[in-house]
Amino acid sequence: MKNWKELKKQFWAKLIAMLLAIVSGFVFVVTAAATVLYGTVSELQANQNTVEKDIDIQLLENYATHLFAEGVTGSDGLEEAEFDGLDGGHIAYTVVKKQDGEKDIVLYTNDASVDADSCMVHREFDTNTRYVLSGQEDSFLGMLLGSYNTYDDSSWRMTSLDHIVYNQEDGLFYADADGDGAYFLMTSFDHVINGRKNGVDTDISSEGTDGTYGIDGVESVSYEYKDVSGAPGYYADGDGKKLEQEEISSWNIKDDLLRFDSGFASKDEDYAQKNGFLTVQTKKSLPKDKINIAGAYSIGSDLNFEYDEYSLNNVETTSYDIYMTAEDTSSTRTLLKNGLVDYFGQGKKLAAFICNFRHTSGWWAAGSALLCLLCFVFLMSAAGRRPKDDEVHMRWIDRVPFGIITGGCCALVTCGVLCIFGMIGYAFERYITISLALGLGTLFAAACEFLVIGYFMSIAVRVKTQNFWRYTILHYLIAPFRWAGDAADKKQPTMKKVTVLFAVGSLIELWLLAMMADGDVVMLCIIIKLVEYLVLRYYVSAMLRIRAGGMRIANGDYSQPINTEHMPRGFREHAENINHVGEGISKAVDARMKSEHFKTELITNVSHDIKTPLTSIINYVDLMKKEKVDNETVQEYIAVLDRQSARLKKLIEDLMEASKASTGNIKVELEAMDATVMLTQVVGEFEERAKKNQLDIVVDSPEPPVKIMADGRHLWRVIDNLMSNICKYAMPGTRVYISLEKFNGMVIMTFRNISRSQLNISSEELMERFVRGDSSRNTEGSGLGLSIAQSLTGLMNGNFAIQIDGDLFKAILSFEEVF
């Protein structure tokens, strides 16, 4: 377990775990995806021979593209001499040229038996669609995945539209592009009736609620061009009814609008220029060689005319069919111009790998997932650990607000995923090689995994250090207002806090009100808020007076009651009740103080009165001891008198000292002194007495000096009382432990011993005067020692406490350390 804790602190261990987690995570994603594909794609579930055949067909399809690429010479077609790219190999192929209105021509073949019925692969190419070869990659993966694919160089062309022409000869509408005499047939249009009504312009740029254009109720009719073989075509409506030329001639285009795609046309040139519409011109006939039938076109809102160049009627199309086969792909060796060979052999190896990996992909996925999980758990446990100590340390990134780091991580991971898909797309679009795409994709995937693991490690550190809430955006937003709830900023007066809170709340209310109401309402609200503030200030002022008075009473000052003038009724009653409580406490304290003073004076007077005759008794007993008395009985009486008079004298002295100490009538001279030296000296004087009582004293103290502020004479008396009690009441044959230690700027002396008698008394009772732990009172003592020690310690600004746990007695002295 210790080695495990140390391992979590090592940087190299975390680095290895991170690398293993990234690699195993990547392997898991790949193998899991492969497992899913094996289970869902039927082609991957076939036997090895079938998979090999599918790969061979794919390779042949791309060989066909390569063959076509060898013969492309721009837009001038293909020549037989250019089909030599696959010669010298074992691939048989035939190239057939097809052209509109002409017979198919076998342009080139190296095996005449290869045709549409016997080939393995058939590819068709159309040069008129301007196929352009993309970047080629001469590799097995490039050939397998189609690096020689082509893409269409768009045949759409754009030009500006000058106007619309109505040809009376054939009854059709044409677009005049750029006014250069090239006319494009309009294959569809809408006839908008009454677009201008009574000379008033209407909005016909959007569709009405009834499906027509213009204002509600305006009708429109759609017409489509119908082609007729060997004769001019015509327009027909949705029901197939032919639009006769006589009907078109009856239209008043000045008032009737025509809509061609998204562009409107008008015969009124002034109106058209004013509103951005097309004008319509009428011509008796158009040149036949200038007319184009555009099957695909559109008119933009900016009146740009866009048409498909290869949908025009005067463009011939030419296509090429390529038939390919390879009877024995395992022995096929194809020599391309770059010298690469044996793509089919590599395909066989790939098929074997696919079929073999199909049986183990699940185990790979499970094993990599388990390894990734173990590394992840280790990293979460090791997050924030350092070799120096066992604490969890936060890095700068762990202090970034959680929302920001979450958003940043999500953004970066999203960018990484998009880059991965971008690399794949670029590879299939042939802008980069497949091997480069795989390498870059792997790097981006590793970077994404690193970000995700680092993100969760940051969460782990925040949770371990209990700082998750502290470093959140919401916490930073709430923090400035926290003092409003718990008065965290105690330096600011309460009235100021209330004023600021009220002002902020009022400003928010006024801002919201200003957005929804007029100026008069806002002004009235401002006046109301001012009145509210005065009332609030009146009540808060009363509350503050009550709080100040309560604090004075709590601190023992009963001389100044709470001023209840100009207070609200409820607050005034509450203040008067507090004043009554203070008066009662003051009277009780005065009575108690008088009683204590009376007791002290009584004890002092009685002790003084007793001390005078006692002194005489002691003196006469001393004289009697010096006389030669032969009677042994008389000698015993004298010894008893001597012992009891000395005890009585000690009791009176202790009583007077306790009385003075409790009332503070003892002079105290505090000075810096070494507690270690004082403790050693006092304990040293009790060594013989302790040995006599079979006690073993064990002292544990640091090296001097340990400075405290105390009165040496009084501290000596306190320790002397404690040691005297230990010698009197400790169980013989036991150890007495005395320790001196420093803790949080305090010097603590602890005295521990096992009591001889059972301690059936609480520590509070034992501290009272005339209370002894020996309830039978068979031992010497007055029961004043602990009380005197407590009072003297308090006068020296120290603390005295005792603890009783069964027969274990513990006395604790504590003083502030002086540096």
Per-residue pLDDT tens digits for 641-670: 888 787 777 777 766 766 666 666 677 788
The pLDDT, as a whole number, for residue 2 is: 59
The pLDDT, as a whole number, for residue 90 is: 64
Residue pLDDT, tens place only, 204-224: 444 444 333 443 445 778 888
CB 423 within 8 A of CB 440: yes
Which residues make Cβ contacts (< 8 Å) with residue 295, sequence separation at least 6?
187, 308, 311, 312
467 pLDDT more than 80: yes
The pLDDT, as a whole number, for residue 815 is: 92
Q: How confident is the model at residue 814 (pLDDT cuts 50, 70, 90)?
A: very high
Which residue's entry shows tokens 């694919």?
149
Number of residues that make up the chain: 819
Residue pLDDT, tens place only, 285-309: 888 877 876 667 777 666 677 777 6
389 pLDDT more than 80: no
Q: How confident is the model at residue 73 (pLDDT cuts 50, 70, 90)?
A: very low
- Alpha carbon separation from 506 to 261, 442, 513, 514, 713 (Å, rounded): 59, 58, 10, 12, 66
User: For residues 339, 345, 346 and 349, what is the CA-based torsion angle, rounded to 10 degrees?
Assistant: -160
Q: How confident is the model at residue 752 (pLDDT cuts 50, 70, 90)?
A: very high
Determine the 3-state secondary structure of 514 from DSSP.
Answer: helix
Strand blocks (E) in 116-182 = 121-126, 131-133, 150-152, 156-167, 172-177
CB 652 within 8 A of CB 783: no
Which residues make Cβ contacts (< 8 Å) with residue 270, sequence separation at least 6?
none
The pLDDT, as a whole number, for residue 61 is: 76
Residue pLDDT, tens place only, 565-592: 888 888 888 888 888 888 888 788 788 8
Between 267 and 361, residue with greater pLDDT: 361
Over range 25-52, report the average pLDDT.
81
- Alpha carbon separation from 343 to 67, 93, 335, 339 (Å, rounded): 16, 17, 10, 11
- Is omega for the bond preceding 613 within 30 degrees of 0, making it cis? no
In terms of average pLDDT, the best of 16-25, 144-153, 283-292, 555-564 is 16-25
- Alpha carbon separation from 65 to 93, 131, 339 (Å, rounded): 12, 11, 18
Residue pLDDT, tens place only, 423-436: 777 766 556 666 77
Task: Write phi, then psi, for 724 (nearest 5 degrees).
Answer: -65, -45
**Residue 395: other Cβ atoms inside 10 A:** 12
The pLDDT, as a whole number, for residue 767 is: 66
Q: How confident is the model at residue 386 (pLDDT cuts 50, 70, 90)?
A: confident
Distance CA 490, CA 460 (A): 35
Q: Kindly report which listed range (58-67, 260-269, 395-404, 630-639) carries the lowest average pLDDT score.
A: 260-269
The pLDDT, as a whole number, for residue 159 is: 76
Q: How confident is the model at residue 139 (pLDDT cuts 50, 70, 90)?
A: low
Give the 3-state DSSP-derived string for 315-332, with helices as H, strands as E and coil as C: CCCEEEEEEEECCCCCCC
Query: For residue 95, what are its two tokens?
Result: 């190239």
What is the rounded average pLDDT for all residues in the chain? 76
Residue pLDDT, tens place only, 506-551: 888 877 777 777 777 778 888 888 888 888 888 888 888 888 888 8
Indicate the angle between helix axes 2-9 and 361-382, nearest 10 degrees.
Answer: 90
Query: For residue 257, what are its two tokens?
Result: 């609008």
Between 257 and 148, residue with greater pLDDT: 257
- Alpha carbon separation from 807 to 620, 759, 804 (Å, rounded): 44, 6, 7
- Alpha carbon separation from 410 to 413, 414, 449 (Å, rounded): 5, 6, 12
301: Cα separation from own chain's centroid? 48
Distance CA 444, CA 455 (A): 16
Burial class (CB in 10 A: 0-12, 13-18, 19+), 792: buried
Residue pLDDT, tens place only, 164-205: 888 888 888 888 876 666 788 888 888 876 554 333 344 444
**Residue 227: other Cβ atoms inside 10 A:** 13
Q: Is 656 left (phi over 0), alpha (psi -120 to 50) or beta?
A: alpha
Intra-chain end-to-end CA distance of the chain, in Å: 42
The secondary structure of residue 205, as a DSSP letter, is: S
